[in-house]
Amino acid sequence: MSANAFNGSDAAVHGHQYRRILPEEQTENPFVKLIPDQQIAVIPSFELESGVVLHDIPVAYKTYGTLSPKGDNAMVICHALTGSADVGDWWGPLLGGPGDGEKGARAFDMSRFFVVCVNSLGSPYGSASPVTAKDGDAANEHYGPEFPLTTIRDDVNIFKLLLDDLGVKQIATVIGGSMGGMLVLEFAYFGKDYVRSIIPIATSARYSAWGISWGEAQRQSIYSDPKYDDGYYTFDDPPTTGLGAARMSALLTYRSRDSFETRFGRNIPDPSRRQNINGSIRPGTPGSEHFTIHNEGHRNVGSPRLGKSGDMSGSVESLPSPMEPTVT
């Protein structure tokens, strides 16, 4: 499955206002090569909501399918915080054709829609970010921590410039989850004459105080890594320990309590051995006992240990845990 994108600098040939560069031309960014078959448009200048003006801004994107003669069949897919323009990488099963006798139709039907996914600002996968060169000039240093703060509205406004350049006149639908869902909600401000429908998933219209506090805790995890060096670290020696801690913290916010309990909750495989006249049976070996303590805590301390022959030695009575059902 390949993207129907334009190669190199044929902007003039295809009637584009913005020139194109190949990913390999972004030599300062080692991460751009991780995304196959993407294209990069270069926008001469763009003013952020903060008032900062960026120059020669690379904007990475991928397209699938064909734009209709009226330019009204675009499906814009917005990636989440750590995603890229490669829809096939994270929503691959949804991307395809109308289906046949063996395969069902796909939601992102490339025979009906001109599917477009644009890489957000600040992402390392091709668009302007801390790992791209200042003002798009490879002779300059990376932006690094000097890259300006950007907003959801900045992303959507620059996406709109690219969509205009691709010839999109009307969007059939915009879909995205998490941060991508925030982009979807922002697209709605263009009105129904431009965006016919939106599909926001697992998102919100604003970041709550709870969400902001989690984000700050994750940032502090990164800052606390000595290798962070106020953001002036090298690609060869990044603050991976701090980033790992931040990611662990973030993962706790991606699922609910019930979800964690369902997937990782403590349980005893054999319910018939949960209770007996002498209390719960302890594991027969130190190794299995350590495993049980790890998963069950010390609720069975004082219970008889199961011997090799299956007999219970040392009939020390223990009170049942309040977490255990009581046999009457």
User: Can you tell me the distance from the alpha carbon of 41 to that of 13, in angstroms, rounded to the nearest whole number?
Assistant: 14
User: Can you tell me the distance from the alpha carbon of 265 to that of 261, in angstroms, rounded to the nearest whole number?
Assistant: 4
Question: Is the pLDDT assigned to residue 247 strictly greater than 80?
Answer: yes
pLDDT score, position 288: 67
Of the given ranges (123-127, 202-206, 234-238, 300-304), which has the lowest mean pLDDT?
A: 300-304
In a domain, 176, yes or no: yes
CATH of the domain at 231: 1.10.1740.110
First to last CA, the chain: 63
**By C-alpha distance, which of 18, 19, 22 is closest to 8?**
22
The boundaries of the domain holding residue 90 are 20-207
Q: What integer is the mean pLDDT of 44-50?
A: 98
Percent of the chain exceeding pLDDT 90 equals 66
Q: What are the tens digits of pLDDT across the range 10-34?
A: 444 457 899 999 999 999 999 999 9
Residues 140 and 62 in one domain: yes
In a domain, 108, yes or no: yes
Are 235 and 227 contacting, i.e. CB atoms less than 8 angstroms apart? no
Of the given ranges (42-46, 89-93, 184-188, 312-316), which has the lowest mean pLDDT?
A: 312-316
Amino acid, single-letter form, for residue 324? E
Show the 3-state SS of 224-240.
CCHHHHHHCCCCCCCCH
CATH of the domain at 43: 3.40.50.1820
Q: Give me the chain's average pLDDT, please.
A: 85
Q: What total of structural domains would you count in the chain? A: 2
Longest alpha-carbon distance in the chain: 88
Q: Of 160, 188, 207, which residue is a domain's last?
A: 207
In a domain, 3, yes or no: no
At 327, is the pLDDT very low, low, confident or very high (cuts 50, 70, 90)?
Answer: very low
Task: Provide CB contacts within 8 A for 89, sequence distance 6+.
Answer: 35, 83
Task: Name the residue with tokens 């209390």.
Answer: 279
| Secondary structure letter of residue 5 according to DSSP | -
Question: Is the pLDDT assigned to residue 8 strictly greater than 90?
Answer: no
Mapped onto helix, strand or coil, the DSSP state of residue 318 is: coil
At 98, is the pLDDT very low, low, confident or very high (cuts 50, 70, 90)?
Answer: confident
pLDDT score, position 318: 42
Residues 122 and 60 in one domain: yes
Q: What are the tens digits of pLDDT across the range 122-174?
A: 999 999 999 999 998 888 899 999 999 999 999 999 999 999 999 999 999 99
Residues 124 and 175 in one domain: yes
Q: What are the tens digits of pLDDT across the range 301-323?
A: 555 555 544 444 444 444 444 44
Distance, C-alpha 112 to centroid of its chain: 27
In a domain, 120, yes or no: yes
State pTM to two decimals: 0.76
In a domain, 260, yes or no: yes
User: Can you tell me the distance from the alpha carbon of 38 to that of 76, in angstroms, rounded to the nearest whole number?
Assistant: 15
Task: Provide CB contacts within 8 A for 120, sequence distance 6+.
Answer: 78, 79, 127, 155, 179, 183
Q: Of 179, 207, 235, which residue is a domain's last?
A: 207
Q: What are the tens digits of pLDDT across the range 258-289?
A: 888 888 888 766 655 555 555 555 556 666 66
